[in-house]
Homo-oligomer: A and B are copies of this chain.
Amino acid sequence: MVKNWKSKLHEIIYEADTRAGKLFDVVLLVLILASVALVMLESVADFAGKYGTFLNISEWVITILFTFEYFARIICIRKPAQYIFSFYGIIDFLSTIPKYLSLFFVGSHSLVVLRALRLMRVFRILKLARFVGESNNLMRALKASRIKIGIFIMFVLILCTILGSIMYLVEGGIENSKFTSIPQSIYWAIVTLTTVGYGDMFPTTVIGQSIASIIMILGYGIIAVPTGIVTAQFATMEKDQLHLNTQSCPNCAAEGHRDGAEFCFDCGAVLNPEETN
């Protein structure tokens, strides 16, 4: 029965409750890591010179495997558009297509680098282990404090714009100054406030150094704010934690179903029964 065959493929690819599903995830993980390693090695001039042919062939093999996977994902889901235009669907597409494009357009090969984006799938594959509860907790704490964090980031950006502009006024006119424009000065303000401090730009006047000192101490103190937000969230969250499983709806691909759920919380379709292993 066709439906049965598709539903089985769906279970293997989209879920991790069965043995075959777990194996598929592990193989996929290894392939992704290999593909990223290949792209890295190719970018190292010495290596690309010596092993160019080997790298090229390996990349084609992985590209073709990824292509199979991409079509398998489309075939076995009931509403393919739901996958194609999902976050991971777009990433899968972007990481597979550049190699084919490189056949027709010369410059496009460097886009293979985008394959690194597939590393994000690691977070979905992780679900197969006991990390589920822990990482869900992490995510929920961050989500709960996203408004406060958003306000904080906006505050940091506005602060850097103002401080950068003032710095441009102070240091901009000096001979050989690196503060050549306001955007450049804002970049410097961000480098300083976040305590990165490359040293490609630094103030040379007394007033400039005084303002820089204020920015540094500000940055040193302000870091307390996101930490405070997240920590307070963690502390209140530690008590209760939800248990979600690795099921994925065969109809709409929604995830995060509670243990024992029989219907998709999003579209109401029947979920595959969980295996008890």
Contacts and interface: CB of A to CB of B under 8 A. Distances in A.
A181 interface: yes
Interface band, chain A:
35 or more
Contacts of A228: 141, 227, 230-231, 233-234
B182 A43 contact: yes
Contacts of A45: 180-181
A202 to B, nearest CB: 5
A73 B154 CA distance: 26
A15 to B, nearest CB: 21
Contacts of A130: 147
Interface stretch (A1-9, A56-64, A110-118, A247-255): A110-118
The prevalent SS among residues of A at the interface is helix
A191 interface: yes
Nearest to A47: B181
A217 to B, nearest CB: 6
Contacts of A183: 40, 43-44, 206, 209
A208 to B, nearest CB: 10
Interface string A11-54: 00000000000000000000000001001100111000000000
Interface string A134-151: 110110011000011101
25 contacts: A40-B186, A45-B180, A45-B181, A113-B165, A119-B162, A130-B147, A142-B225, A190-B213, A190-B216, A190-B217, A191-B216, A194-B219, A194-B220, A195-B197, A196-B216, A197-B197, A197-B199, A220-B226, A223-B223, A224-B227, A225-B230, A227-B227, A231-B234, A232-B234, A236-B238
